[in-house]
A = this chain, B = another copy of it.
């Protein structure tokens, strides 16, 4: 009998923000796979490192990060085959996913290759978007607010249109797009309605501030800006 493929969300960074189900599956699976940059450690693995055991087989899926349109399809093909070999031998495989597996995660590339052939279970995880709102003490969306999530690489026209149409906009994956996005928010007169969050649940690395206080701080890839153009915060308890 084939093993089961698990796409396991390990949350935004703090080891205790994984779910009970994720913990059970990660500690029980004979094979653990995780994404990593071509050089260096896996962020997803670091979150659960203290729970892994030497007798678990580990598969590193190394993806170049900064290359424009790098043809990574062959990397996922190869990882899928390596995982498939374990599943065919009856071993469950848990793939560690930063945040949630299906929310801007690379797990979907394994899922599309393996779900047609094997039983696949998704374990949803806490998203960094929710973690950022919590760290900022800033309710994200309420009542009938429209919440839009836009990746930082989106072009200016699209960013502007999305921010203007939503009550709350979260711009993720800022990195080298940060200056351009900040200039656009300033031009829309929304800097004072915006907050910045970075690595919010990583011990000792979290940082949040009003966007107007960000200054010249370098902005990493794992960062976001939350723009609250308007919200409908009002205590009516109405669920009409």
- A residues touching B (Cβ–Cβ < 8 Å)? 7, 9, 11-12, 14-21, 23-24, 63-73, 75-76, 100-106, 108-109, 111-112, 115, 120, 122-127, 130-131, 133-135, 137-151, 153-154, 158, 161-162, 165-166, 173, 175, 201, 221, 233, 235-240
Give, as a whole number of angstroms, the nearest-CB distance from A22 to chain B. 9
20 chain-A/chain-B pairs, Cβ below 8 angstroms:
A12-B124, A16-B20, A17-B21, A18-B19, A19-B19, A66-B240, A67-B238, A70-B237, A72-B236, A100-B134, A100-B140, A102-B134, A103-B130, A112-B139, A125-B130, A144-B153, A145-B151, A161-B165, A165-B165, A221-B239
The 6 A-B pairs with the shortest beta carbon distances in the complex, nearest first, are A72-B237, A122-B134, A108-B139, A124-B130, A63-B237, A16-B21
